[in-house]
A = this chain, B = another copy of it.
Amino acid sequence: MTTEADRPPEPDRVRAPNIRDVARVAGVSYQTVSRVLNDSPNIRPETAERVRAAIDELGYRPNQAARALVTSRSRTIGVLSGQTSHYGPATSIQAIEMAAREAGYRLSITNISSSEYTSIKSGLDYLMSQAVEALIVIAPQVRVFEAINDLQVAVPFVTLEATGLNTSHSLWVDQVQGARMATKHLIELGHTEIMHISGPQDWIEAEARMQGFLRELGDADLRTRAPILGDWTASFGYYAGLELLRYRDFTAVFAGNDQMALGFMHACREMGLSVPGDISIVGVDDIPESAHYAPPLTTVRQDFAEIGRRAVGLVLGELRGEAGLSHDPVQPQLIVRESTAKRA
């Protein structure tokens, strides 16, 4: 009835309403309010309605900290990522965020600036200090596994894009397969001298793409040559191209990602070479821009968003004790555009 009159005088500092304030307004005990909040059974609909009305009236919001304290559940998923500004990680993280929020979890993201072990470890340490309930790693560096062991991470975790290693904790695009598709495509076009510009050696996915490339080449009995170790950037592709094209002892290039492919095409243009007339190029990722490169890039599409969603499903499933969740690799897809052609 009287919702204001008989309350104690307003304190100076306005305090956010708590569960007891709601209870008082609704004329029930705080426990009943708690029950409504956690929609537990055995509440009379009429009572629940009154509580909900009180909640609205007061603009009450449950205090997450108090809840976390008593349940000792932070409802937080930690994300350890390398450069979150890159297309792949950024896309995955966005999907992770949405899937997590859907499931009532929030994210704690941390960027590791370098691939130094100490950097990984301190990033991981930070996440542990946030009491994350699960961990998703998008920093596909080999040393992450070490760090996870060293810190005795006891929560469910999954690493993205880390082909082949430690499969029970991995979820990945089948990079080996993707690389084979790209390489096979070039071979089928008649190319026999194929160059690979790889990502940094300590990225597992770079390693996997290199393996796929080498295996496909081996299966076709073609000469393999040492891949160039790049850094994923367009600039690297460009300078590598300027260097490599001085010899021109190859007619096709498989680049570890679209950006390096772009840089390489830039170098071709500058050296007066036609793509795909003189050199065929394949990238990986299918970033949205690659369809508009000059020429539009043949590339291996990866579904980063799907990977992110599945990662969340996986760790939350494990958290709920569900077993036997699917770790099947996500299949990449070859997108043929105009940067590849039959060997002249």
Please list the residues of chain A having a beta carbon within 8 angstroms of any beta carbon in chain B.
61-66, 68-69, 74, 83-87, 90-91, 93-94, 97-98, 101, 106-111, 113, 126, 128-131, 233-235, 237-238, 259, 262-263, 265-266, 269, 288-289, 291-294, 296
**Can you tell how many copies of this chain the complex includes?**
2
Contact of A106 with B130 at beta-carbon distance under 8 Å, contacts A69-B63, A69-B66, A292-B266 already known: yes
**Residues of chain B lying within 8 A (CB to CB) of residue A64:** 65, 74, 129-131
* Contact A129 B262, beta carbon cutoff 8 Å: no
B129–A61 touching, CB < 8 Å:
yes
CB distance from A153 to the nearest CB of B (A): 12
A91 pairs with B97, CB closer than 8 A:
no
Q: Which one of B83, B94, B262, B289 lies within 8 Å of A84 (CB-CB)?
A: B94
Contact B109 A109 (CB under 8 A): yes
Tell which of B65, B97, B108 touches A111, judged by Cβ atoms closer than 8 Å: B97
Q: Are B94 and A234 in contact (CB under 8 A)?
A: no
List residues of chain B with CB within 8 A of the CB of A68. Answer: 65, 68
Are B266 and A296 neighbours in the complex by a CB distance under 8 Å? yes
A262 CB to nearest chain B CB (Å): 5
Q: Which residues of B contact A129 (CB under 8 A)?
A: 61-62, 64
| Complex alpha-carbon distance, A113 and B95, angstroms | 11
Contact A288 B233 (CB under 8 A): yes
Interface centre among A85, A107, A265 (most CB of B within 10 A): A85
Known: A65-B68, A291-B234, A292-B238. A109 touches B130 (CB 8 A): no
A97 → chain B closest CB, angstroms: 6
Contact at B131–A65, with CB atoms within 8 Å?
A: yes
Which residue of B107, B110, B131, B269 is within 8 Å of A101 (Cβ)? B110
Known: A64-B131, A130-B106, A131-B65. A292 touches B94 (CB 8 A): no
Instruction: Check if B85 sits within 8 Å of A101, measured CB to CB.
Output: no
**Complex CA distance for A265 and B269, rounded to whole angstroms:** 15
Q: Contact: B97 with A90, CB < 8 Å?
A: no
A261 nearest CB neighbor, chain B only: B292
Identify A289's interface contact among B90, B128, B262, CB under 8 A: B262
Closest chain B residue to A83, Cβ basis: B94
Q: A84-B97, A94-B84, A111-B97 given as contacts; is B69 within 8 A of A292 (CB)?
A: no
Contact of A94 among B85, B98, B293, B296 (CB under 8 A): B85
Complex CA gap A113/B305 in Å reads: 14
Q: Which residue of B has the minimal Cβ distance to A93?
A: B84
A234→B288 contact, CB < 8 A = yes
Residues on the B chain within 8 Å of A85, using CB: 87, 90-91, 93-94
- Identity of the chain B residue whose Cβ is nearest the Cβ of A84 in the assembled complex: B94
Minimum Cβ distance to chain B for residue A65 (Å): 4
Give the distance to chain B from A126, nearest Cβ to Cβ, in Å. 7
Can you list 7 A-B pairs with a CB-CB distance of less than 8 A? A61-B128, A66-B69, A69-B69, A86-B90, A87-B87, A234-B289, A234-B291
Residues of B within 8 A of A262 (CB): 289, 292-293
